[in-house]
Amino acid sequence: MRVMYVDQTGQLGGGELSLLDVIKHSPFHSEIVLFDDGPFRTALEDLNVPVHLLHGGSLSKVRSETRLKAVLEAGPAFFGLQRRLAKLTAGFDVVYANSQKAFLVSAATRRKGQLLIWHLRDMLTADHFSPMMRVIAVEASNLTASIVITNSQATADSFVQCGGKLEKVVVVYNGISPEPFDAVTETMKQSMLQELGLRGKYLVGVFGRLSPWKGQHILLEAIASLPYAHAVLVGDALFGEDSYVESLRQRAQAPDLEGRVHFLGFRKDVSLLMKCMNIIAHTSTSPEPFGRVIVEAMLAGRPTIASRAGGVLEIVRGNETGLLVLPGCPLDLSAAIQKYHAHPGLARRIADAGRERAINHFSVHAMADGIEEVLRNCMAREEMPILVDSL
């Protein structure tokens, strides 16, 4: 089977990191089209995956919250891209779209006999998409997608609630390898803490791109009243959220937080940094479709706190494998941090149970096997002759 993956971004977001693992473990011939250049391309080339760059032009201005005018303006760019993509995907059995824009362009290029997979990694809710973008995506998938793979039941539910066909959906959870976490030694940890000047501090880490809905500001407010706690922010703005980063930096300079907020930027050594934390918090203010960082925190064996919404509820069992808090509520987050701080035995028990759950439920092999099975089943179905019932 020849699979052409399509992704709209060259940045390394969660969807792209997950796709790297999918491709790494795929038994099929894989190539990829990107609508933008960036570190994702380098990571794919390191895996010897042929990368085709098709610049999206003004299509890059169309965002999830976009309304009609911007969509119409991007029309010529869309059709230009669609023509170039159609040439590249000729001769492939499967076109596998890893993001919404990639799916829409792929839907317009689908050939007879070719499978079109949409790996939907976003909640199709008002928090993330304008009504028009939701309608366009769902109608296009009902008409053209062979199957829609979602990263959680919550994402699947959001798709169906928007009118997506239930029979098209298969849930395949993200899988994450414990190996990079297990490779971290105490010496590596101590020298990293030394390098960062954070030895002996009580560290609450939040990992992920800096973006208003990822809620890093909630952590800052939560620790403002906890003088012993330091916030470590790992990640950067990936999709133009620079003014949010500026507001975080300004807030961090206020007297009640001064010297206790550490911005590390985008890092490739997430496993080592996670091991250095006392607690890892997930602070999204609106429902997270999956939340790789939560599984990673569990694999790192750290006690986690996560926002009680969306796919998170399929990962964390409250008070068992993590603490769940009200999204967007600094008071609740602050209380959870205090609970772990005051009860190290409880924190240890929850962290150990979290690690076990992450290993058992979110393995890379389960993800890769799940996706392979979906593709094989889809292909078999497509090749089956249509049987007409004779009365």
Enumerate binding residues for ligand UDP (CB under 6 A): 13-15, 17, 207-209, 234-235, 266-267, 270, 290-293, 296
Q: Which is nearer to ligand UDP, 214 or 260 (CB)?
A: 214
**Least distance between ligand UDP and beta carbon 175 (Å):** 12
Residue whose Cβ sits closest to ligand UDP: 14
**Least distance between ligand UDP and beta carbon 274 (Å):** 8
**Least distance between ligand UDP and beta carbon 204 (Å):** 15
Q: Which is nearer to ligand UDP, 224 or 233 (CB)?
A: 233
Q: Which is nearer to ligand UDP, 196 or 335 (CB)?
A: 196
**Least distance between ligand UDP and beta carbon 2 (Å):** 27
**Least distance between ligand UDP and beta carbon 201 (Å):** 19
Instruction: Give dist(CA 113, CA 157) in Å, integer.
Output: 28
Helix axes 131-144, 100-107, angle to 10 degrees: 50
Helices (H), the chain: 14-24, 39-46, 68-73, 75-89, 100-107, 131-144, 153-161, 179-182, 186-196, 216-224, 242-252, 270-276, 292-299, 312-315, 330-342, 344-361, 364-383
> Which pair of structure tokens corresponds to residue 356?
């076990």
Q: Which is nearer to ligand UDP, 109 or 304 (CB)?
A: 304
254 burial type by CB count under 10 A (0-12 exposed, 13-18 middle, 19+ buried): exposed
**Least distance between ligand UDP and beta carbon 174 (Å):** 7
Sign of torsion, CA 330 333 337 342? positive
Radius of gyration over alpha carbons of the chain, in Å? 22
What is the Cβ-side half-sphere exposure of residue 74, based on CA atoms within 13 angstroms? 20
**Least distance between ligand UDP and beta carbon 73 (Å):** 27
Q: Which is nearer to ligand UDP, 81 or 148 (CB)?
A: 148
The DSSP bridge partners found for residue 198 are: none
What residue type is assigned to position 363 of the chain?
S
- DSSP reduced 3-state for 188: helix
Q: Which is nearer to ligand UDP, 61 or 267 (CB)?
A: 267
Q: Which is nearer to ligand UDP, 316 or 378 (CB)?
A: 316
